[in-house]
Each structure stands twice: as structure tokens, then as C-alpha cells.
Structure 1
Amino acid sequence: MRILFTVFPASSHVYPVVPLAWALQSAGHEVVVASPECVIDPNVIANIASAGLTAVSLGGKEELTASLAPLIAAAGRPSRGTAAIDPDDENAWCASRAMLVGLLNAYYPPESVSGGRRPVLDTLVEFARDWRPDLVLWDPLAPTGAVAARTCGAAHARLLFGMDNVGLVRSKTRQELADPSSGLTEDPWMPWLGPVLERYGLDFTEETLVGQWTLDLNPARMSYLVDLPYVPVRRIPYNGGSRLPEWLHHRPERSRVVFTLGQSRRLIAGQPNGFPLREFFDSVSDLDLEIVATLNSDQLATMGTLPDNIRAFEYVPLNQILPTSSAIIHHGGAGTFGASVAFQVPQLVVPLPLWDEKVVAQYVRRRGAGLVADPAAIDVDSMRKDLLRLISEPSFQIGARSLYEDMLAAPAPKDVLPVLERLTAEHRG
């Protein structure tokens, strides 16, 4: 088969794709990974290629960057809107829907934004018509994959990078449309989708938003209860390739803790200056621990001289450092969560409110695999106490083991290939 992956232009969306793409490639299938380019993460195409996969650039750097900028700025101000789903707020999906519609609209921007340049979707459709994939696997934030698949007769499915916020929001939207008392009389997705589909001679189907089926990397106990066809796949941690640092050749002499804010290197904490990095590092300076912190160059430049037990780096792949770590402090991103689970590391989660971080945090706490700090009221002394609990209380290691067993219950990428081959044969046009 020929398989085309389409991903959102961020490395954190590329990494979940890689293990399945490797499995397909190793089984003899032809695989390419396509992504637009965006200054928000200029390394996307290079990261695809460095993983040993064939990368296809869809261009669109200027117009996509301009279209996404206001949405990303709004996500940085939770009161102004976010694509996150708050499990404690039954109505949070409404704000998420508004953000998602705006995000999807970015792939086919109006003339005022595109400046006459070809939208990303046109480039992808042209490539798909020429390359003729049998199957298109698309990122929920790159729904252009569904449109491209329909124009060339390919089967298509979503590959989730995190929780299925799009599926949940679409399910609730359909319920609202079916309820006369809701006041919603027109489908809010259609102002963007209608004209785009019409341009390619297509009508609207639900599969345009949610795929013919969905590959789900989330543990079964964590997934939303949405009436869609899901195929479980085990999340295999991949964080990019790099040389193993010499200091990681040996096991640490004292307990090692990883501190990471994810690919974005930021944490929205409801505070003017975000996470109080320096205060936290000072609060743990007297502990018999080795803290390995990944910080960007700006953060490193403002830290000054760090305590002796803090190692600060711009980047260390989690799959290199977590096997020798006793705990991790992180922002709740799906990739970081998945890597922590794979190496059975107890977690202290300070959830960043962008996508599914609060869901991840609550799941970790509920399963006894870690603790949660309130991002809107960070107390470094409380975080210090929580960290010591993770290191000293055996129950958190037991909880981390239970999450690992949940992960093993899902089939590995290679074991899913017969299912993909069968579904592709059934759905290919």
C-alpha cells in the first residue's frame, strides 16, 4: 500500500506518527509524511526526514503563520478561548469548538491572508492526486487529509496525537443541532467546510471531520465515550534522534528528576511571568536529588548561576533520560505523559490549558501514578513536598506500573497493520 500521513506543523505532532510509520515502512509499504511549514516550528520537515521518513513540504509558511498567530495568542490567554476540554466543565466544549473552527479555517485562508498564494490544501490535493495513496492517515488538526483522500479515492482515518477533542466536540454539536431548545439551527462547521468542499466537487460527510475510523493512542480507560469507530494502538515514545550525552552513559548517583515544559518550553500558569522557574529551583536546591531541566535559550539566559543539583539543557530526548529517572514534573502534554508511562515514572503534572492536559493530569492522579499542581496558583513549597512524596512513597511507583500495564493492553503498531490493510480495502474508493 501507499500511505500518506498529514500532520499539523509542530514537532510534537510529528513524533506520535513516527512509530506507526516505521512499522508500515518495515512491512514493505510506501510511506510519506506531509506537513505545511510554519515559523511557529520551523524544524517540522527536517524532523520528519531525520526520523528516516520521506517528508513532503506543503509550503504555506507565510499564510499559515499569519492565520494561526491570533489563535495561538488566544490560547495563551485562557480567558480569551482555548481548544482544551475541561472535564469539570460541561460547557467547555463550546469554547473549544470556536477555537477549532478558526484553526481549521487557517488551512484555506481568505485572499486577505493568503495574498494570492496557493493555500496548503491545494498543494496537498495536487500531491495526493499525483501520488495516489491507498490510505491517508491524518492529524485531527490537519483535516485537509480527509479532503485530499476524498479527491483521489483513498481510504482515510485520523491518528490521534492526544485526546479526541474534535470527536467529542463534534458529537456534542450534533446533539445540540438535534435539540430544538438549544437554539443552534446551523452547523457551525459549514461556513469553512462548505465552500472548501464545493471547490473540489465534494459534499459534506461526517467522515470529513472524524474520519472513516480513528487510530487511538490513548489508554482505553482514559478515552472519551464517543460513538465513533476507534482502533487502539500502543503509544511508543519517540522524541527525535540525538547522540546520547556522556553523562547519561551511567546511572545517576542520586535520584534523578526530570523537569520539562514540553516542546513549547512554556507553561501558562495564570501568572504574569508564567512558571516561577528560579523560585522552584531554589526551593529544591538543598535536596539530595539531581534535577534535569529542559529550558529554551531565553530561559537559560535569565537563570544566572543555578544550584549545584540542577542540570539545565535546551533539549534531552525523554526516551534517553526517563529510564534512569525517579520522577518527572511536566505540563501534561500527551507525548510527555506517554513517555513517562512507558518508563513507569511517577508524575507531578502542572497542566497547561491548551488541549487535553487537564484530562491527563486527572487520569494520572486518579490512577495513583502521580500528583497535580494547580497552574493558576503555583506554590513552589507545595511542589517541593509533592516531589518528595513521589520519590519516597512506594504507592506512586505502583500506580506508574498500573499505567504501564494499561499501555501494554493496546496492540503494538506492527500488530495493527492487518487491521489497517483490511479497513483500507473496505473503504478505498
Structure 2
Amino acid sequence: MRVLFTIFPTTAHLYPAIPLAWALQSAGHEVVVASPEGVVDPNVIDRITSAGLTAVSLGGRGELTASLAPLIAGAGPDRPTLALDPDDENAWRTTRAVLAGMFHAYYPPESAPGGRRPVLDTLVEFAREWRPDLVLWDPLAPTGAIAARTCGAAHARLLFGMDNIGLIRAKTRQELADPSSGLTEDPWMSWLGPVLERYGLDFTEETLVGQWSLDLTQSRMRHPLDLTYVPVRRVPYTGAATLPPWLHSRPERPRAVLTLGVSRRLLAGRHSGFPMREFFDSVADLDLELVATLNGEQLDAVGTLPDNVRALDYVPLNQVLPTSSAIIHHGGGGTFAAAVAFKVPQLVLPLPMWDETVTARYVVRRGAGLAADPAAIDVDSMRKDLVRLVEEPSFQLGARALYADMLAAPAPKDAVPVLERLTAEHRD
């Protein structure tokens, strides 16, 4: 069968899809990955092809950049966010409003300014010509559902993290059913109705939540929603690079990793106040090696490093974590998955972008690590937490428990027959 992936244009959304795309391709299916041009990552199309997959560029750099600029401009109390804390009964309304602005980038009512074609029109045209049997779409790239419906393909969401959109939709429906809420019109209809009419389609719940959802998150983290989920083990893919000589053998002393992922400039940026230099100085006397991923500006800012700190711009986590005893990170799904896969205890400083706060709590609850407040970082506390992760055996036991949870989900290759069956049941 032919399978079309539609991806939100960042590595944080592309990389989770790659192992499943490989599994489908290895099983003999034709696979294409479509994405708008990069916003956070300008090289996203090249990253698709470098992973051995066929890419289709949907354009849209100008439109999406304008729409997403407030989200990627930097951290701060006034920055809009897609983070959703299920314990906050009002946060979902804010997230719903932010999503509306994002979705408008995909659904302009007329042709885009400057002669650029809307992303959705480009995708629909490709889908009608290529005729996929199955469209797997990113929750932040809901164009996939519409493209699938225009060509009769089965379609499902590929969840890169927790199903916040499913949760928001469920709460919206509850609000619509409650006369005291004051909500009389479905806000999703106002966003999607006009564009669906352009393609002769009516609104269905599947336009928002898919005919089913492939869930890469651990089952214990899943929101309790009345939706169909197909669990798939998240195999960490963190990019490809030549293995550096210092990783050819195991370290002589414990190794810890400090990584802020693609969000490093938000948490460790000029205005956020992360005390990078102070933290390096605080661990200088510890009998461990700290590997920190920093960009050029951050390297210049910290100056001369302690002897036990190794700073570099990038190293794939699947190269460095097998020989590491602890990791400090921002709570991103890819970093969390890599830490779980290599059974590494975690110190999470959750940068609220999607589900990082929930991830941090989950790590703590499962005994696999500790969490700290990124808005009130205390260097001495971080140092103590790092020492605990390296020295206390209980955290290693917790990390092994998370690893066992990961293994309980079917591997990507084992999900392929399930997708074949569901596709046959749902395509027109």
C-alpha cells in the first residue's frame, strides 16, 4: 500500500515518525513524507531524505513562520504556549485559542499573499495525484485528514506526545453540551468549516482526531479519552552522525548529559536566566564527566570550561546515552524517549511547550528521576540532584521500570499488520 506521512516542520515531530516509516518501507510499502518548509528547522526536508525516506515539500515557509513566530520567539511569561497541564481546569481553553491561530496558517480563505499557494492546496493536489491508501498525520498538521478525505484514503493521527488535542476536543464537547457554559457555537467549526466547504466536505470528529490514533507515548501517561488508540513503541531516532572517538569506549568515570534539545535557546537563551556558567562551576569538583550541548553563542558566553565539562553543539543522544549515568533535560518527548530506551535516570526542567510538565511528574512518580522548576533554578539543588541520580541505585531501578513499560508496546514492525488491517477497513 501507499502511505503518506504529513509532518509539522520540526525535528521534534519528524524524528518520532521515522522508525515507523522505516518499518512500513521495509515491509514493502511505498512511503512518502510531506512537510511544509522548515520553520524552527529550516532543513527539515533534507532531514527526511537523509533518513532514507522520500520527501515532498509543501512550501508554506512564509505563512507558517508568521503564524508560529510568537511561539518560537523565546520564553517568557507572556509567550503563548501549547502546553497543557491536565490538572489546570482552565489551561485547555488557552491552548485551544493558540491552536486556532496555528491552524489558520494551513487554512487561508484565499490564495496566500505574494503568489504562494496555501499548504493545504499543495498537499491535496499531491494526494489526489499520488493516491495514498493511508495518511498518517501529525496532530499539528491536520491538513492530512482533509487531504485523505479528498482522495478516499484511510487516515490516522501519529501522536508525537500526549493527546492534548483529543483532550481539548473532549472538553469542548462537554462545554457545548452544558447550557451554563455559555458556549453555543463550536469554535472548531469556525476554523474548519470554510475550508471544508472549499473541498465539498462536511465537518466530522475524525477531521480532528482521526479514524484512529497511533500513540507513541507510554500507556500510563495517556489521557483517559473515549478514542481508538493503537500503541506503538517509540524507538528513539535522534539523527545520524559519525561516532566521535571519545565515544568509542566507556568513560572512566560516570558521565552525565545536559541537553535542552531543539528548545535550548528558549531555556538557556540570553533572557531566560539559566545559570549555565554557574552550573558548570558547581560541578567542577565532582568525579564525573558532564557533556553539554550548547550553540556557539552559549559557548562564547560561558568562557573557559572546567576540565570535567565537555561542550559541543550536537551529539545524537543514541550515541552518548548508552555510556551515561544521568541526563538533565527540558522534558521533550524525544529526549525522554531516548533516556528511557537507554535506562538513564533523568533530571527534568520542564519547559512548557506541550506535555513537558506531565512528563516530569511521570518520571518522578515512576522513581526514574527528579524534577526542578526551570523558572526558579537553584544551582546547588541541581548539583545535589545530579549526584543523587548518579549515586542512588533507586533511580536506576526506576529507569529500568520505564524501560519495561516501553517494551510493553508493540515495536514499529509489529504495528505494520495492524495498519494494513485498519487501512483496508477504513479506506473508501
**TM-score of the superposed pair, with normalisation by structure 2:** 0.97
* CA deviation string 1:326-371 (max 9, x = no partner): 0000000000000000000000000001100000000000000000
- Stretch deviating more after TM superposition (284-293 or 84-93): 84-93
Per-residue deviation, 1:115: 3.3
Judging changes above 3 Å, is the alpha-carbon distance between structure 1 residues 274 and 328 closer, same or farther for their aligned structure 2 residues? Answer: same
Per-residue deviation, 1:55: 0.7
Per-residue deviation, 1:81: 3.0
- Stretch deviating more after TM superposition (262-271 or 140-149): 262-271
Distance (Å, rounded) in 2 between the aligned partners of 1:267 and 1:396: 28
Matches within 5 A, 1:368-379: 368-379=367-378
Q: Is the 8 A contact 1:267 1:331 kept in 2?
A: no
Judging changes above 3 Å, is the alpha-carbon distance between structure 1 residues 223 and 271 closer, same or farther for their aligned structure 2 residues? Answer: farther
Distance (Å, rounded) in 2 between the aligned partners of 1:223 and 1:317: 27
Per-residue deviation, 1:302: 1.6
Distance (Å, rounded) in 1 between the aligned partners of 2:126 and 2:112: 23
Q: Is the 8 A contact 2:76 2:272 kept in 1?
A: no
Q: Is the 8 A contact 1:12 1:263 kept in 2?
A: yes
Distance (Å, rounded) in 2 between the aligned partners of 1:29 and 1:313: 38
- Stretch deviating more after TM superposition (308-317 or 56-65): 56-65
Partner of 1:28: 28
Secondary structure at the counterpart of residue 261 of structure 2: coil
Distance (Å, rounded) in 1 between the aligned partners of 2:299 and 2:111: 39
Partner of 1:333: 332
Distance (Å, rounded) in 1 between the aligned partners of 2:313 and 2:217: 28
CA RMSD for the aligned pairs?
Answer: 1.6
Partner of 2:45: 45
Secondary structure at the counterpart of residue 135 of structure 2: strand
Q: Is the 8 A contact 1:255 1:325 kept in 2?
A: yes
Per-residue deviation, 1:110: 5.6
The reply on whether 1:105 has 2:104 as its aligned counterpart is yes
Judging changes above 3 Å, is the alpha-carbon distance between structure 1 residues 145 and 263 closer, same or farther for their aligned structure 2 residues? Answer: same
Distance (Å, rounded) in 1 between the aligned partners of 2:220 and 2:107: 36
Per-residue deviation, 1:80: 4.4
Amino acid aligned to 1:14? L
Per-residue deviation, 1:116: 3.6
Judging changes above 3 Å, is the alpha-carbon distance between structure 1 residues 238 and 132 closer, same or farther for their aligned structure 2 residues? Answer: same
Amino acid aligned to 1:421? E
* CA deviation string 1:40-75 (max 9, x = no partner): 2111001100100001111111222122213434x7
- Stretch deviating more after TM superposition (172-181 or 297-306): 297-306
Secondary structure at the counterpart of residue 81 of structure 2: coil
Judging changes above 3 Å, is the alpha-carbon distance between structure 1 residues 376 and 112 closer, same or farther for their aligned structure 2 residues? Answer: farther
Amino acid aligned to 2:59? G
Per-residue deviation, 1:89: 1.3
Distance (Å, rounded) in 2 between the aligned partners of 1:253 and 1:114: 58
Q: Is the 8 A contact 1:38 1:62 kept in 2?
A: no
Identical residues among aligned pairs (%): 78
Matches within 5 A, 1:222-371: 222-268=221-267, 272-371=271-370
Report the count of equivalent residues: 428
Amino acid aligned to 1:107? Y
Partner of 2:120: 121
Per-residue deviation, 1:112: 9.4
Amino acid aligned to 1:366? R
Q: Is the 8 A contact 1:260 1:330 kept in 2?
A: yes
Amino acid aligned to 2:27? A
Secondary structure at the counterpart of residue 265 of structure 1: helix
